[in-house]
Amino acid sequence: MSLWKIVLKNIVQRKLSSTLTAASIGLGVAVVIAVLAIRAQTQEGFRQSAFGVELIVGPKQLSPLQLVLNTVYHLETSPGNIPWSRYRELAAHKGVAVAVPISVGDSLRGARIVGTTEAFFNAFNLAIDGRSFRFDPARLELAMAGKESSGAFEAVVGSRAAAQTGLRLGDTFQASHGVDNVGEQHAEKWTVVGILKPSGTPNDRAIFINLDSFYEIQDHRQSSGISAVLLKTRSLASGDLLKYDLNQLPDCMAANPAAVMAEFFSKFDWIPLLFLAVASLVVVMAAVSIFVAIYNSMSERRRPIAIMRALGARRATVLSIVMMEATALCAFGVAGGLVLGHLLTAVAGSFLTSRSGIPFSPFAVQPEELAVLAGVLLLGALAGVLPALKAYRSDIADGLSPSS
Amino acid sequence: MSIALNGVRKAFNGTPVLSIDRLEIPKGAQWIITGASGSGKTTFLNLVSGILTPDAGTITVGGTEITRLSEASRDRFRAEKIGVVFQTFNLLQGFSALDNVLLGMLFAGRVDAGRADALLERVGLKEKRDQNPDALSVGQQQRVAIARALANKPEILLADEPTGNLDPKTGESIIGLLKEVCGENGTTLLCVTHQPQVMQSFKDVTDLSCLSGK
């Protein structure tokens, strides 16, 4: 026999009320935990997957956000080009460590097709099962000039794109024009020579083809423009200077993806805050419901409390029992909310991963989570203060009288 | 443990309920406390157990003047030295017979499941240890209450109309049990009743109506 046993008996005796009260706490906690986890992991995911790309150079008619979403996250569309000559200038620039050209605009069953060079995989540390495609710069120049050429049509498929399209090593496919799955199918056939190992980045959702083959497509021939150039610079200072210089040019712009995404998230930071406010309100209301549930039961507890007092329980002991009950109800809710919150994160994370390629760890504990749990438990204990004081002040003789 | 009351006065809302100039109960005594309705029988037990404090006078239990103790000290004293049996049993619903006995030990800080089992065996309820009060007959419930009252080896056992809710035969066995267990341990027994058949089984009967001059 212990005070906790008395507390648990009290909770079990009021099953329905206890369950509903703990459930309301649990729901509030679950939403708070899911919002915290999704917010933190989304921001971290976008920040990390942009890592490595220090500057993106693209056409002036795009907004920096469009450019970043299109080139790094394979979202949005890219309605413009920059001249191939700009890539060659950038590749030769002394402040540039790596320059990777990309061209986009086609897709296969919802997976974006990105024309690029082998440098892409090396620059962003992407491991391949199989091998990389072969890029032939001479063939590219010929194709861009509209001259006859021949060479490989090869593809390296992102892990998620492979699962989505069913492509395996050795398979062939025909790309469709456009990214919305309704464009005409191109006549050319690519062979899958590699599958990317899962990288936890948006690249998992894309299909990469050798850039020279991209310009072999009938509709793309005689085009001398590419969608963008991804850059790694030799130093932060050289990157800033390069960005400034590029933004002065009439036909292109440069954007720092980390800065663009930070600015993007700062604009929408009120959304998770709103969720947190609503969830906090739910938790506070649940704490009030703990108070109401226990306070309303105080009249039926008069006799048990008086019996315990007659058996020698001190006022402080009955006060503790009531506060422990409020805390225990809250703890049950918190425990349930913790599990439910992470399950919610798993469901929402899986949806977001399928849409953005950002990886989610549904059971990763956020630092704020512990503070939230401690805060909610404290709130639960506080909800028990008034009923506990009522128990503390109760009169033994009155509680034992036959009318009680 | 002896009990001494001197000049004790108690009133509720200005109405005098109990007035005892001098009363001494020797250690190990088995007394009936009786009196007319409103003569303060339950108030008397509540004063002796420290649940209530007198408006005037002193109460000394086993050499300790409990009227000078703080409320917390009186609670501790009650938990350790005094056992109480009520007319309505006052067992906690939802707790088994064993749990109810253990509860009596909890507040004295002496939880001992072996002793609780032995007490239930002593009152003839070994087989019912896991039953909740609502599954027991009224006589069995009062036996559990007696086992609970004896949980901390009390030196005084106060019984407030312990047979009031029982039929005569069951009442007789309960009184017999109370006298027996108190006699075994030298526990002072004060039994409040107004039932003549209960009074007949005790040698010492004190009428509070006479003491208070009501």
Query: Model confidence at B4, in pLDDT bands (50, 70, 90)?
Result: very high
Residues on B contacting A at a C-beta cutoff of 8 Å = 42, 46, 49, 51-52, 71-72, 75-76, 78-80, 84, 86, 88, 90-95, 99, 102-108, 111, 148
A173 plus A228 within the same structural domain: yes
User: Taking the mean position of all CA atoms in its chain, how far away is CA A351?
Assistant: 9
A354-402 pLDDT tens trace: 766 677 788 888 888 888 888 889 988 888 888 899 888 888 878 887 6
**A224, A255, A286: which is the final residue of a domain?**
A255
Q: Name the residue in chain B with its Cα closest to that of A3.
A: B106
In order, the DSSP letters of B49-75 are TTSS--SEEEEEETTEEGGGS-HHHHH
A273 and A215 together in one domain = no
Q: Are residues A30 and A67 in the same domain?
A: no
Put simply, whether A3 touches B (Cβ < 8 Å) is yes
My answer on whether A67 and A35 are in the same domain is no
Note the ipTM here: 0.89
Residue A391 shares a structural domain with residue A295: yes
What share of chain A has pLDDT > 90, as a percent?
31
**For a pLDDT cut of 90, what percent of chain B falls above it?**
51
Assign domain B3-211 to a CATH class: alpha beta
Q: Give pLDDT tens digits for A106-149.
A: 899 889 999 999 999 998 889 999 999 989 988 888 888 888 77
Per-residue pLDDT at A62:
81
In a domain, A71, yes or no: yes
A261 is a domain residue: no
Same-domain status, A187 and A311: no
- Do A316 and A222 sit in the same domain of this protein? no
How far does the CA of residue A311 sit from the closest CA of chain B (Å)? 6
Contacts A–B by Cβ distance under 8 A? 71
Residues A159 and A11 placed together within one structural domain of the fold: no
Element (H, E) at A242: helix A236-247
Of A199, A225, A255, the residue at which a domain comes to its end is A255
Question: In this structure, are A164 and A216 located in the same domain?
Answer: yes
Q: What is the pLDDT of residue B214?
A: 58
Q: Check whether residue A179 and residue A303 sit in a common domain.
A: no
- Please classify residue A281 by burial: count the beta carbons closer than 10 Å to its beta carbon, then call 0-12 exposed, 13-18 middle and 19+ buried: exposed
In a domain, A82, yes or no: yes
Q: Which of B156, B184, B210, B185 is nearest to B4 (CA)?
A: B156
Q: How many domains does chain A have?
A: 2
Q: What is the mean pLDDT of residues B161-179?
A: 85
Rounded to a whole number, what is the distance in Å from the CA of B79 to chain A's nearest CA?
A: 4
Q: Is the pLDDT of residue A404 over 50?
A: no
Residues in chain B with CB shorter than 8 Å from the CB of A304 are 92-93
E-strand ranges in B76-187 read 82-85, 156-160
Kindly provide the residue ranges of all beta strands, DSSP E only, lying in A158-224, ordered along the sequence. 172-173, 176-177, 190-196, 207-210
CB contact under 8 A, A307 and B94: no
Residues 316-345 of A with CB under 8 A from B: 316-317
Picking from B95, B98, B158, B160 by the largest number of A CB atoms within 10 A of its own CB, the best residue to mutate is: B95
β-pairing, A111-116 vs A207-210, is parallel
In this structure, are A156 and A275 located in the same domain? no
Convert the pLDDT of each residue in B11-30 to its tens digit: 998 899 899 999 999 999 99
Domain span at A71 = 55-255
Phi-psi region of A128 (alpha: psi -120 to 50; beta: other; left: phi over 0): beta
Mean pLDDT of chain A: 86
**Is the domain of A187 the same as that of A290?**
no
pLDDT of amino acid B213: 58
Q: Which residue of B has its CA nearest to A397?
A: B51
A79, part of any domain: yes
A13 touches B: beta carbon within 8 Å: yes
